[in-house]
A and B are shown apart, each in its own frame.
Chain A
């Protein structure tokens, strides 16, 4: 499959702050690509660079095989996006808001087409009500409708389930799966609801403090029978050195001065403990984790990582 988004060496500095640091990744066609990171990790800045709201300090972004900087309009015509909370014109009705963004996307949408879009996100019955009377969930749905109204090939969603009730979250999840699997759209989605990502994402990228921590297909990164083991020792540097020259090297997934993470099958955990003792590594604690959320937390907590395997 070809890469819809190709990012190389993307960096953004805000004076002293290094918001995004040498980030590279690729998003393939027709996948749901999860973009994870804690608050302040650089997700929003990255998404804003993908959408030309923020200019990169360094690096290149290619979308649909073309350089974003040179083909901005052509590329944006094929992208639909919602960034953070979808603020709209509160004194206008839902359908008026939708018409505005459809026109700005270069299409003349009929009343029927606009109503269909509102139907798709489940707010057609409130199409002619002013947005100021909408609940947060309804605004979120209208925001998603504005992203889809011009039938884009790439959909960028930043926290799309914010403010939604459980039924609303399930509806949006089904809509994203439908867009990807049935309509073959590419969806680039950031969310803090990691359990949701586990259900919908094909691939994912985790960033922390502007740097890539890990990228890959979800089923390869996280197999239900895999365990994520976080190791704390009295001397991490020495422990990493010993692990690097041992048969345990193949389990090493992430290593830093503060954090050693190993990924292995659950049946291999006893063997790991045995070998650590044999290698005289002074273990302070060993924690096994097995959900994506735990995995995410194990990768992004603590101090800046000095390297990832």
Chain B
């Protein structure tokens, strides 16, 4: 299994197109950091404008607000919407790309079981996804910490603001990145499933993005019927649950409780649903592939 996985990783990481995603992330993170470095005050004012009616903020408070943790949070919020496209570039290509190149038939006439072949292919896509996320974490979190420094982190919520002590932030980021890895693996699993049905990688990539767009629209619509019956089961509803790690509990006096998470059960439920999707997508992909006639 390990030898096969090494082959798959060699195929992914020796391919120039793999680095398009790494380049895109680098460019976006750099541009956001540059913009906030040059005009961070306007961004903070905009951020606080919704709350300014009920709260008053001192200039000292505002100056502390723009730090590496908040910048990373802003980057993650923006980038995790774009990441599915970058993930599907590789996962959607994993089987369809081989079929298109004509290497699928050469691989499947070797003494390797189709189930094993699929598992290895999927694991390679997951490793790529995690590598992409680690790259983003290094640039967005550690890069922003270097550029903007660290301080307490303030998170805006519809109910007000949560202030998290600087010493209480880092583990939340690790948890959030871990959750994001599962969320993006769900996308990888979907693209991987669609890849089984196609003989070129464009189809699965476009189909993956189309499904995400439709599901996201459904997730965002405020229609009672959808709220109760459909939204809770759409994977897109649970993709952004990583933010829950930055929502904290507070005492009756309004003081945030260090190490707390406002709604851990909701995060765990979302995580379970995403894991269910991953298992379902991969199981169907393997089941279909085992029966498939290879005509490419």
**Which A residues lie at the B interface, using CB under 8 A?**
48, 51-55, 72-74, 76-77, 79, 81-92, 96, 100-101, 103-106, 143, 146
Residues of B within 8 A of A55 (CB): 291, 293
25 contacts between A and B (CB under 8 A): A48-B105, A51-B109, A53-B108, A53-B295, A54-B294, A72-B111, A72-B113, A74-B111, A76-B109, A79-B109, A83-B105, A85-B102, A86-B106, A87-B101, A87-B103, A89-B103, A91-B16, A92-B14, A101-B106, A101-B110, A103-B3, A103-B4, A104-B4, A104-B107, A106-B111
Is the contact region of chain A dominated by helix, strand, or loop, or is it mixed? loop
Mark each residue of chain B from 2 to 30: 1 if its CB lies under 8 Å from any CB of chain A, else 0. Answer: 01100100110011100000000000000
A106: B residues at CB distance < 8 A: 110-111
Q: Does B266 contact A (CB under 8 A)?
A: no
B108 and A52: CB pair below 8 A? yes
The distance in angstroms between the C-alpha atoms of A54 and B108, with both chains bound, is: 11
Distance A145 CA – B183 CA, assembled complex (angstroms): 42
Q: In the bound complex, how far is the Cα of B224 from the Cα of A265, in angstroms? A: 88
Selected contact of B7 from candidates A82, A85, A88, A103, CB within 8 Å: A103
Binary A-proximity of B89-117 (CB < 8 A = 1, otherwise 0): 00000000000011101111111110000
Q: Looking at the complex, which one of A54, A79, A87 makes contact with B106 (CB distance below 8 Å)?
A: A87
User: Could you say which residues of chain B place their CB within 8 Å of the CB of A105?
Assistant: 110-111
Central interface residue in A79, A81, A104, by most chain B CB within 10 Å = A104
B1 nearest CB across to chain A (Å): 12
Complex Cα spacing A139 to B145, Å: 50
Cβ 8 A contact of B294, one of A53, A96, A101, A104:
A53
Give the total of B residues in contact with A, Cβ under 8 Å.
24
**In the bound complex, do residue A100 and residue B294 qualify as a contact, i.e. CB atoms below 8 Å apart?**
no
Taken together as a complex, chains A and B put the C-alpha atoms of A81 and B110 apart, in Å, by 9
Cα distance, A91 to B107, chains bound together (Å): 17
B212 to chain A, nearest CB (A): 28
Q: Indicate if the CB atoms of A52 and B113 lie closer than 8 Å.
A: no
- B103: chain A residues at CB < 8 Å are 87-89
Report the bound CA distance from A105 to B3 in whole Å. Answer: 11
Interface residues of B in 221-267 (CB under 8 A from A): none
Complex partner residue of A73 from B7, B11, B113, B294, CB under 8 angstroms: B113
Contact present for A53 and B4 (CB under 8 Å):
no
Residues of chain A within 8 A of B11, CB atoms compared: 89, 92, 100
Tell me, rounded to whole Å, the shortest Cβ–Cβ distance linking A78 to chain B: 9
* Chain A contacts for B4, CB-based, 8 A: 103-104
* Cβ–Cβ < 8 Å partners of B102 in chain A: 84-87
**Chain B residue with the shortest CB-CB distance to A74:** B111
A104 near B10: Cβ-Cβ < 8 Å: no
Q: How near does chain A come to B113, taking the closest CB pair, in angstroms?
A: 7
Question: Looking across the interface, which residue of chain A has its beta carbon closest to that of B100?
Answer: A87
Question: How many Å lie between the Cα of A298 and that of B19 in the bound state?
Answer: 56
